[in-house]
Amino acid sequence: MIDRQAESGAAGATRESKAGARLGFRLLTYNIHKAIGVDRRFDPDRIGSVIRHYDPDIALLQEVDRYAPRSGRLDLASHLANLLDHRHRAVSMNVHLKQGRYGNATLTRFPISRQYHIDLTISWRKRRGAQHTRIHVRNGHMVRTVDVFNVHLGLSARERNRQVRMLLESPDVRRLGADDAVIVAGDVNDWRGLLPPLMENEGGFRFARAATGRPIRTFPSYAPTGALDRVFFRGPLSVTHVARSRLSVARVASDHLPLIVDFEFV
């Protein structure tokens, strides 16, 4: 059952910010698990319905298949972009299968002027990456730029620490200054909550958290115990609302719940 108050509150925050003097946008990050739900059913339209409910301006997706047999050989990023009517997208394939590939996808209603894949793979471990997009947020004559890094990090704490340092030391991040709006978000697999201090101390990032100050649990979707999906930000941005999905369909559509964050430029 949908929590109507929580759902409408999450949707209302962005509408209010868009109507006000400041320029706001909604970001959603979601590990879609190749559009295969916890019921083992492949259903990209179900994933699309969950995302569409929150009407994000920017959707950061992980585990997005392209031409893999398990997902009907669909280009999932293209399929979901069409469902959402998001004209702009960037796709970075991390893992090559015998047939097909999968990786990260950024879907947005705003123009993208830069896209680049940053390889975060550590030696023999599973291939991982960060997808960098420069997105131009618009509302009427107001235009602001935000650099977004869509990440999917490794399963061990040591691996994740190295990957975060690789990202922070990459030219794409190092050339961004204190006045640039920057977001790093995605499935960070951080069960122990070790990454927020690292991102803060070494990268100057803040952690988008709920009003209670606690991380929001998103995994597993049917009974969340781990805050594996996180959003970090720095520069001229403020967070007006943070929530995970409360839709009953989201508890089945993937093994993760989507995390939704409303931002304003300051």
The reported pLDDT for the residue numbered 110 is 98
pLDDT at 93: 86
Cβ–Cβ < 8 Å for 48, 84: yes
Low-confidence ranges of the chain (pLDDT < 50): 1-6, 8-19
CA 83/CA 85 separation, integer angstroms: 6
Distances in Å between the alpha carbon of 214 and those of 147, 193, 260? 26, 11, 15
Token readout for 134 is 């420069």
pLDDT of residue 160: 96
Q: How far apart are CA 65 and CA 75, in angstroms?
A: 6
- Give residue 11's pLDDT: 45
**What type of residue sits at position 99?**
Q
Q: Which of 172, 242, 174 is nearest to 207 (CA)?
A: 242
pLDDT score for 10: 47
Residue 103 near residue 129, CB atoms below 8 Å: yes
CA 193 to chain centre: 18
pLDDT for the residue 20: 53
Count the helices and strands in the chain (H runs, E runs): 7, 12
CATH code of the region 4-265: 3.60.10.10
pLDDT of residue 212: 83
Question: Six-digit token pair at 253?
Answer: 């559509």
